[in-house]
Amino acid sequence: MDLPVIIRGARVVFTCAGGAPKCGPDQADACPIQHASIVATGGVIEFVGPAAECDARYPGGSAATVIDATGCTVIPGFVDPHTHVVFGGDRREELRRRLTGATYAEIAAAGGGILSTVRATRDATEEELAEATRARLDQMLQCGTTTAEAKSGYGLQADPRRSSKPGSVMASSRASTRTS
């Protein structure tokens, strides 16, 4: 049996309570709850509300993992609905060049651009791609992204036997990150 996880005593908890999906101006309705706590068991949120009510329902002596959120703000995790997280190579230097005025055409002419990461993805092993993907997913989580839909657009090969590499890496990453 899963023990509850209690996030206790946050200064404020923002929720997405109400009808879903929220569109247009309704997205601004974040439903803040002052001096709040959250209880989840087995990955399912059971309670979000005033800390005093939580304390009455789940007294301090009950078996639970308790996270003290005193003075903290708790927000829903970010959702990234479109990310290309599985790829080889690194294009940070290209971003630096773009920020100083270089055009995409100039960068591509110098061997950069998307084709450079397509080449690097083709040349990488599944293990190398998995390691790089795991690092990117970990960084996304540290920045608040709790859900990501990963795209396999870097499988741009003429040889279909090689284009399954990103999909295979995504499947193994999904299995290893569900509870991380």
5-76 adopts what CATH topology? Urease, subunit C; domain 1 (2.30.40)
What are the structural domain ranges in the chain? Answer: 5-76, 80-177
Distance of alpha carbon 30 from alpha carbon 73, whole angstroms: 13
Place of tokens 């100083």: 100
Distant-in-sequence, close-in-space partners of 75: CB < 8 Å, separation ≥ 6:
13, 14, 144
83 and 141 in contact (C-beta within 8 Å)?
no
How many angstroms separate the Cα of 54 from the Cα of each of 59, 68, 138? 8, 13, 31
Cβ burial of 87 (10 Å; 0-12, 13-18, 19+) is buried
- For every one of its 180 residues, what pLDDT tens digit does the chain have, with 9 covering 90 and above? 788 999 999 999 998 877 777 788 887 777 899 999 999 999 899 999 999 999 998 876 668 899 999 999 999 888 999 988 999 999 999 999 999 999 999 999 999 998 898 889 889 999 999 999 999 999 999 999 999 988 876 655 555 555 567 777 777 766 555 444
pLDDT number for residue 155: 54
pTM strictly above 0.95: no
DSSP code, position 8: E
Own/partner contacts of 42-45, CB < 8 Å, gap of 24 or more, are: 42/2
Query: How does pLDDT run across 34-74, given as a tens digit for each residue?
Result: 999 999 999 899 999 999 999 998 876 668 899 999 999 99
